[in-house]
Structure formats: structure tokens, C-alpha cells
Amino acid sequence: MKKIKILFVVFLFSSITFGQEQFGGLALYTVRDDMTKDPMETLKAVQEIGYAHIEAAGYEDGKYYGMSPEAFKNALNALNLNPISTHQSSITLETADEHFAAAKKVGFTYFVVPIPPMGMFTFDRKTMVMGMKGSVGDLAKILNELGEKASTYGLQLLYHNHDFEFKSNDEGVVPIDYLLENVNPEHVNFEMDLFWVTKAGADPVAYFEKHPGRFKAWHVKDMGANGLFAPVGEGSIDFKKILDGKKQSGMEYYFVEQDMTFDKKPLEAIKISHAGLKEIGFD
């Protein structure tokens, strides 16, 4: 009986009419609470808003949002959502094979290390300041080793930035500059978070020009007048200027992400962002 019920649910979702224009990606981190409560209904809502691709951020104990990799893949397929990328911050050198094998089963193209892994990331809850302990040289070595192994699984490893990587550290080194010069581009590239680059006072386009082809994915979220996260199109970031550098950057996919949506429900915020994407010229 349980098997029949599951098949019926899959059939029900498979029978959805995909008539609206589907484009753009969504980082599921934005709707993480909804995904915890009801992943299938949340994914259905994401599809209905018009997103075509997803980036996961819910891997734990060998499962994605409580589903085996195979079940998660089937759920996405039933909704015509493409699994492109996954954030898995708990990866270590020792657990890399497990992480990569799971990601490959879902069908992801990109495996993203979202923060310095293996205990290197720091976050001060009082000041809300992010950073890292250990040297950027150590981080580069870890990423190179992970990237080489990811390649054996047919995955492309990306590193995702926040603001601190674009600021000089105590040794006078700008971490992102060091990484761009010292990780092997055959195995390690980058997912640029446009909000955090802007927050750090850096220019995304200048990085595209200096390091063409290295930024395979983008996180797209806007910055409100208060300097906080905002839906795409409701803030001050010049996305049209940045989008003009798409080819030079190497960007193949982008994902709307809004870490906090404040007075808006996450599903409401991503709907506003999807409309903003279209107005700006993302496709």
C-alpha cells in the first residue's frame, strides 16, 4: 500500500503542466526551513514560480533533505527541476568519497565548498563577522586535494565566497587573490556570491577581467539601502553591468539566494527575485 501511495505521489507531480517559462536557478538554502517541513511541496512551489535549476544545501547523514540521493533525484525529475549544484560544508578529506559519491548519484555537475572546511571557518555571533583560522595556503592545499578527487567522480569543485575572502587578512594577503593564483583551475574554480563581493567593496567585473573563466556559477541576491539582503531588483547592485561580463566570467549557471528574507516569507521573496531576474535580462 505504501509503495502504491509513493508511486501515486510521483505520478501526481509528474503530471504537472510545465507551461510557464522556466529559467534560472534557486539556491535551496533560501527556503531551508520550508524544505525541512515539506520538501516535496516546497520543490513544487519553486517549480511553479518558474525556476528551472536548483542548488542543494541540505546534505546530512548520507541524505538530501531526508531523502536518499536516488530518491532526491527522482523527486527533482518528477518536477522537471535540474540538479546543478550542491553545497556540502561538512566535507573533509576523510569523508570526501562519501560526499562525492552521493552528489554524483543525484546528478549534480558542481560540488561547492561553501565555507573554509574542516573547522577553518569562524563566525562571531556578537559582531556577525565571518573569517577563517589557519592559513590561506592550507585552504588552497585542501581545495586542490578535494578538487582532484572530485574530478575522478566527474564533478567540478567550486569554492563559494563571503566578504572576508576579498579583504586583506592579518598577513596582508587577500584570500581570494591567493586562491585564484594557487588552486589548479583544472580541478578548482569558483562560485561568486555577488552580494558578498559588493559588501566587501570589491568589483565583480574587475575580477572577471583579471581572472577570466574562473567563476563558473554566481549567487544572485540584491543589497537593500540598509546593506542587508534584498530580493533581486529591489536593491542597489548593478546586475546589468555584471551580467555584461557573463561570458568573460565563465558563468554557466546562476542561483538566486537570499540568506534571510526578513519581513517576507522565503517563497514570496524568491517569486519577487524571479520577476527581477527577467526584468534585468537574466535567462
Q: What is the pLDDT of residue 90?
A: 98
Report how many domains make up the chain. 1
Q: Which residue has the cell 561553501?
A: 114
Residue 6 lies in a domain: no
Please provide residue 173's backbone torsions phi and psi, each rounded to the nearest 5 degrees: -105, 135
Q: What is the pLDDT of residue 21?
A: 82
User: 102 lies in which domain range?
Assistant: 21-280
Q: What is the pLDDT of residue 3?
A: 42
Residue 81 lies in a domain: yes
Residue 12 lies in a domain: no
Residue 215 lies in a domain: yes
Report the distance separating Cα 187 and Cα 246, nearest Å.
21
Report the distance separating Cα 179 and Cα 136, nearest Å.
7
Q: What is the pLDDT of residue 263?
A: 96
Residue 183 lies in a domain: yes
Q: What is the pLDDT of residue 26?
A: 99
Q: What is the pLDDT of residue 108?
A: 98
Q: Quick check: 146 and 136 in contact, CB under 8 A?
A: no
Residue 1 lies in a domain: no
66: left (phi over 0), alpha (psi -120 to 50) or beta: left
Residue 68 lies in a domain: yes
Q: What is the pLDDT of residue 7?
A: 39
Q: Quick check: 215 and 246 in contact, CB under 8 A?
A: no
Residue 175 lies in a domain: yes
Q: In 3D, which of 35, 121, 109 has the Cα closest to residue 75?
A: 35
Q: What is the pLDDT of residue 2?
A: 43
Q: What is the pLDDT of residue 20?
A: 63
Consecutive sets of 10 residues in the chain, 283 residues long: mean pLDDT of each? 42 47 96 98 98 98 98 98 98 98 98 98 95 97 98 98 97 97 98 98 98 98 97 98 98 98 98 98 95
CATH number at residue 199: 3.20.20.150
